A and B are shown apart, each in its own frame.
Chain A
């Protein structure tokens, strides 16, 4: 069995062994959501599977089975899916700042703008050499650098370094967390 398969299975077993904890309001919140779905999807007064779901909250064994089923579905989904970045999250404004009193222009270039040289310019209007811009960045890990005067690459002195200067120039790493659902 390949190493990665063994690792994956071990992680899944580890996850499945974790106790499923729900707070005291879990049943109530589930039923509020179920009733809302019922109101949205079916005509008033219609009977159906939702009626059976009402009983789930009163029977711990069913609730546990439901919870286990959810874990199983999520796990299978992970097994089948290819590695992905955070899906569906909106880009988050990130402020980039570089202190460069002598600079005539500064841009920030990185994975998030496909390293487009002129895509994201910083401004230093009335800030005496403190260049900044707020740019939308998708959730994930990004490599980036500042380009000063269109020719000098500068890493962000306040950010973690990106390992390796493959092209003889420094760069930095940025991790943007996804927005909570």
Chain B
């Protein structure tokens, strides 16, 4: 449904009850231009439409939704530039979140080059955005995720790393110390459990 709406924003906005007349004309026009611009750059537009829906659900006015969608468009363009055409929509969405959190796009490009084509970085980028938003310094967070990806950690290991860092911070640990400490265990653990790796 999102794809259908994104495919013809102008027509769909009049038909889709989630959008309908809940957006003023200038906002509709601005959003239409942003969607067209994203499509022309090869950026997937579904995430932009999801942002519109989110804004409407949360009661934001048109101008605020336009600002959010414009910001997301820029972040996705940055992510697309460094990740290349091989990145999936999900990787771009997750990468845009990390950029939004303050991670330089170039760091994400380094991770992609390090991990290769086959490794999806959707979850690593999601965790990166999360721990940065919890106060882990950007460079510490980026180093931690790069270490995990470089060590061959699987998504479940990186999820566990995120949960541990979150719990440590909620218990009062310094975010930087929590990330630096937990990554040591997470990096050494995968190699210590080869039988688990083979089952995945």
Contact indicator B133/A141 (Cβ below 8 Å) = no
Q: Which residues of A contact B40 (CB under 8 A)?
A: none
Contact indicator A82/B129 (Cβ below 8 Å) = no
**Cβ distance A85 to chain B, nearest Cβ, rounded Å:** 5
The interface on chain B, measured as residues whose beta carbon lies within 8 A of the other chain's beta carbons, has a size of: 59
B197 within 8 A of A: no
Q: Which of A15, A84, A163 has the most CB of B within 10 A?
A: A163
Supply 19 A–B pairs (Cβ within 8 Å), ascending by A: A4-B81, A11-B116, A11-B117, A12-B117, A14-B113, A15-B117, A78-B85, A83-B43, A83-B88, A111-B50, A116-B57, A141-B126, A163-B97, A163-B130, A164-B71, A166-B51, A166-B55, A168-B60, A173-B129
Q: Which of A109, A115, A160, A167 contacts B68 (CB 8 A)?
A: A167
B62 within 8 A of A: no
Contact indicator A5/B84 (Cβ below 8 Å) = yes
Considering the complex, which residues of chain A in the window 47-90 have a beta carbon less than 8 Å from any beta carbon of chain B? Answer: 78-79, 82-86
Q: Which of A10, A84, A163 contacts B132 (CB 8 A)?
A: A163
A residues near B (Cβ < 8 Å) are 2-5, 7-8, 10-12, 14-15, 18, 78-79, 82-86, 109, 111, 114-117, 140-141, 143, 153, 160-164, 166-169, 171, 173, 175, 177
Considering the chains assembled together, what is the distance between the CA atoms of A3 and B77 in angstroms?
12
B101 within 8 A of A: yes
Considering the complex, which residues of chain B in the window 51-94 have a beta carbon less than 8 Å from any beta carbon of chain A? Answer: 51, 53-60, 64-65, 67-68, 71, 80-94
